[in-house]
Amino acid sequence: MTSMFDQYEQASQRSKQVHMPPIRPDISTAGFIQMKFQDDGPIFIKQKVNFLPSDKILHFVVNNNIIVIAMANNILLRIDMKQPDSPEEIDISKYAINMDMSGMFLDPFGNHLLIALVSKSQDNPPPELFYLHRKSTKLKQASKFKGHEITAVGWNFSNSSDTTTGPILLGTSKGLIFETEIGLDGDKIFNTSLEQYWRQVFDIGKDSKPPITGLEFHKIPSTDKYVIIVTTLMRIYQYIGAVQNPEEKPLLQQIFNKYLNVQESFNEVINHLSYSKIQFYYPTLGSLPKSFGWLTETGILYAQIDPKIDPKSVLTNQQMLIFPEASLMGSNISKTTSAPLSFVFTEFHALLLYTDRVKGMSLLNQDLIFEDIYNDAVGKLLNITKDYVTRSIWAYSEKAVFKYKVNKEDRNVWQVYVDKGEFELAKQYCKDNPAHIDQVLVKQAEMLFKNKEYEKSALIYADTHSSFEEISLKFLQEWQIEALKTFLKKKLEGLKTQDKTQITMIVVWVIELFMNQMGVLRSNNTSYLHDSQYLELQKQFDSFLAIPKKLRNV
C-alpha cells in the first residue's frame, strides 16, 4: 500500500465569497490605514488520501487517529495515522460466510471495534456481532447478541480503560436496547464470554418495533444524572435520571426504570427515508456536547444542549434547519433537492454529504457557504464522519477517501451575528479587529436610533469612527438635544489635549446647547429659578464646566 500522507486535490470546490463591506463615506479610516484585508481561502479544504483500496469500500470509521476500512473482499484495513505506512490487513472471510456487514462501530478512543453482520437472505444464519480490540487481529464473537442486528451503539465517553468498553448501550433493528460491557482481560475473554454482563434494559418499540438509528448517553458533569438520547426513523426520545449506585450493573437500568410504566414521550417528524442520523458537537474533549442534530427527510433538527433549563429535556432552542437546494456552481449544475445521506457538525457549520457532492451550511443563518462536486471516477459518496479526538473530518466513496481541513471557520461569524442583531456576540468574534468592531458598533447604534433609544445610540455612536457632522445632524433632525449633548460629551472624553480645535468646537457647541435650553425655560416660566427641570439643567451645566484639564486649554 502506498503512503497515507495527505495530498491537496484541486477539485471542483467553491466557497461563497464573503466580501468586506465597503468603507462608508461617513466613517473615517483613521486608525485603520495599517489594516490589510486578505483572502483566507475556503473554510473547508479537501485533501485526497493517497490510497488505492483492493476492493470497493463498504464502511469507514475513525477515532483518535485510528482508521478502520471494511472492503467488499472481507478485508479490514486498520491504519494508525501516526504510522500511516504500516497498515494492518485483517481477513474476516471465515466470519462472514453468507453474511453482509451491516454496520461498523468504533469507540471514541479507537480501542474497541464492533462489527454487525446480517444474513444475505432470510433463510441463512441469524445476525451476529463481533468484537475487535485495537491490539488484536482476531475477531471475537459476542455470542449473547446472536440473533440481534445491532444498528446503533452508545459508547461510554467516561471510560478510561483501553481493555474494556465500560458500560455501553446497544440498539437493535427491532427497537431493543441492551446494556453490556465488552472487552478482554489480557488475552483472556471475560469468564469465557466476551460480555462481562449483558441485559435488555428497554424496549423502545413495543408493538411497532422500529429500528434504532442513533443512541448516545452522557453523564451530566458535577451531578449523578445521566441523559440518554435515542432516535428511530421518525422519533427522538430522551431519558434523564439519576444513578444512585454507580457500581450497580446494568448501570443505566436505573435511568430506564422510571420510564417502564409511563406513557411514551417523544418528538416526531415525517420521514420516508430508510435512515436517520444523529450528530453532536463537543467544544472540548470529554465535555458534555454543546449542540445536537438529527437528520431526517424533514431537515436537521438542531438544538443546543443545556441540562439546567428543563428537567425533562436537555435540548433547548430547537429549530429545523432546511437543506439548501441552491448550488454555488452556477445554473449549469442541477439542484440537489433530496435529503443528504449523512452529515457532520463543526462549531458553526454542517457539512452535508450527497452521492455526488458535499455542501457546507451555516448553522447560524442556514446560508450555503461551500460546495464540493465529486467526479464519477471516485464512485458514489457513501458517508462523512468525524474523529471525536482530533476533530478531523473524513468523507469516503466506493473507491477513495478524502479528508477535510477546517480553515478559520469563525472568520465571518461576527457579520452573521450583526445581521441577526446579536451585537455582543458579534463583538466577541471580531477578535479585537478594530475595523470589524467599528462596523458592529455602527450597526448597533443605527438599530438603537431606529428604535428611538436615542441616548443609548448616542453613547455608541461616540465610540465609532462615523462622521462627527453626520451623526450630529441625525440627532438635530430628530430634535434630540439631550442625545446630541450625550454624543458630544462622550466624544469630548475621547479627545486628547493636543486636539485643541476639536475640543474648542465641541465645548462651544455644548455650552450653546445648554444656554439655549435654559433660555427657553426662562422665557416660558417666570419662576424658572424654582423649576426642577431648569435646576437640573443648571446642575448639569455646572458639572460640564467643571470638567477640567481639557477646558482649561480652550
pLDDT tens digits for 24-62? 444 443 444 334 444 578 899 998 888 888 999 999 999
Question: For the chain, how far is it from start to end, CA to CA, in angstroms?
Answer: 81
Report residue 239: phi and psi, to 5°.
-125, 120
Task: Quickly tell me which residue has 449483558 as its cell.
Answer: 198
Residue 94, C-beta contacts closer than 8 angstroms, at least 6 positions apart = none
Strands (E), 165-290: 168-172, 176-182, 184-185, 188-189, 195-203, 214-219, 225-231, 235-242, 267-268, 277-281
Whole-angstrom Cα distance, residue 207 to residue 229? Answer: 20
Rounded Cα distance between 277 and 268, Å, is 14
- Rounded CA-CA distance 77/66 in Å is 10
- CA–CA distances in Å: residue 430 to residues 29, 30, 350, 361, 440: 18, 19, 22, 21, 9
Strand partners, 140: 131
Cell of 541: 451645566
- H or E stretch at 544: helix 532-545
Please, are residues 7 and 84 in contact by the beta-carbon 8 Å criterion?
A: no
User: Which has the closest alpha carbon to 214: 155, 287, 140, 143?
Assistant: 155
CA distance 535 to 520: 13
- pLDDT for res 165: 95
- pLDDT of 337 reads 53
Peptide bond into 127 cis (omega under 30): no
Q: Is the peptide bond before 250 cis (omega within 30 degrees of 0)?
A: yes
Q: Say which amino acid occupies 223.
A: T
What is the separation of C-alpha 355 from the centre of its chain, rounded to a whole number of angstroms?
Answer: 23
User: What does each C-alpha distance from 511 to 267, 488, 514, 541 come to in angstroms?
Assistant: 64, 11, 5, 8
- pLDDT attached to residue 195: 79
Q: 312-321 burial, b for 16+ CB within 10 Å, e for fewer?
A: ebbbeeeeeb
Find all residues with CB under 8 Å of 536, minimum gap 6, and list them.
none
Whether the CA torsion 241, 246, 248, 249 is positive or negative: it is positive
- How far apart CA 448 and CA 454 sit, in angstroms, is 7
- Decide: residue 263, CB within 10 A, 0-12 exposed, 13-18 middle, 19+ buried: exposed
Q: What is the DSSP letter of 27?
A: B
Cα–Cα distance measured from residue 395 to residue 357, given in angstroms and rounded to the nearest whole number: 10
What does the alpha-carbon distance between residue 349 and residue 14 come to, in Å, rounded to a whole number? 16
d(CA 1, CA 531): 92
Give me the domains of the chain, ranges plus CATH numbers.
323-405 (2.40.10)
pLDDT of residue 193: 63
List of the chain residues with pLDDT < 70: 1-12, 16-39, 185-193, 207, 330-337, 526-530, 547-554
- Taking Cα atoms as reference points, which of 450, 514, 458 lies closest to residue 490? 458
β-strand pairing of 66-71 with 57-63: antiparallel
- The helix/strand count (H/E) of the chain reads as 10, 32
Please tell me the pTM assigned to this model.
0.85
Strand order in the sheet with 99-106: 99-106, 112-119, 128-133, 140-141
Q: Cα dist. 182→103, 253, 521 in Å?
A: 17, 17, 86
Q: Which three cell numbers stand for residue 15?
A: 466557497
| Cell 471514541 belongs to residue | 108
The DSSP H or E segment spanning 271 is none
Alpha helices in 50-91 (DSSP H): none
Q: Within 10 Å of residue 283's Cβ, how many Cβ atoms?
A: 10
Place of cell 457539512: 351
SS3 206: coil
